[in-house]
């Protein structure tokens, strides 16, 4: 019997994201003033185009991740502004080395200091974050994500010795 489990996680904005939005808006206001002052003939068209660009840039920061598990296959997609979908990861659970919670003993110093860490979480403080340690494209990779319990159970069917639930 085929198993299909999915979960959608909305990424929270960090202070850096908020500062970036403020910087974009402030830059657009200053640019609008300069356009009105030095190019009054085309000011309206240029300002409308500028603020459309501001809208596009700000909505690009609305990010959700969709986790989908199908018979031990994990797919992670990034959805931007509920419109654009991009596949970030597609991997079979048999390629995993370790799957455990971030606050467990398996989250060793070596895993924490991995140079290739992919954060596909909501960035919420009270989220239950898990990690996957694996080799991807010949280099150690750590995936951070927030799976459902059913997803972990599905992985445990295929790789019971690599799943650490405590």
Contacts (Cβ under 8 Å, ≥6 apart) of 10:
63, 64, 122
Which residues of the chain, if any, have pLDDT below 70?
1
* 95 half-sphere exposure, CB direction, 13 A CA radius: 16
pTM of this structure? 0.86
pLDDT at 165: 84
Q: How many contiguous H segments (helices) and E segments (strands) does the chain have?
A: 4, 9
pLDDT for the residue numbered 3:
87
Please tell me the distance from the alpha carbon of residue 28 to that of residue 22, in angstroms, as a whole number. 10
Q: Backbone phi, then psi, for 155, in 5-degree steps?
A: -60, -40
Helices (H), 8-148: 15-38, 43-59, 109-112
Residue 145 burial (10 A CB sphere; 0-12, 13-18, 19+): buried
Count of CB atoms situated within 10 Å of the CB of 143: 23
Give the pLDDT of residue 40: 87
Of 133, 131, 163, the residue nearest 147 (C-alpha): 131
DSSP character for 121?
Answer: S
């Amino acid at each position: 019997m085929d198993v299909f489990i999915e979960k959608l996680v909305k990424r929270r904005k960090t202070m850096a994201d908020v500062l970036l939005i403020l910087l974009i808006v402030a830059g657009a206001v200053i640019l609008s003033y300069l356009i009105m002052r030095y190019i009054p003939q085309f000011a309206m068209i240029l300002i409308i185009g500028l603020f459309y660009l501001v809208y596009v840039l700000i909505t690009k920061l609305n990010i959700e991740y969709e986790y989908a598990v199908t018979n031990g296959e994990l797919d992670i997609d990034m959805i931007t502004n509920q419109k654009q979908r991009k596949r970030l990861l597609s991997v079979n659970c048999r390629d995993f080395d370790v799957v455990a919670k971030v606050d467990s003993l398996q989250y060793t110093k070596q895993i924490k200091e991995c140079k290739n860490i992919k954060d596909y979480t909501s960035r919420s403080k009270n989220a239950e974050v898990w990690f996957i340690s694996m080799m991807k494209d010949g280099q150690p990779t750590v995936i951070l994500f927030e799976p459902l319990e059913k997803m972990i159970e599905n992985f445990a069917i295929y790789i019971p010795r690599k799943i650490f639930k405590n």
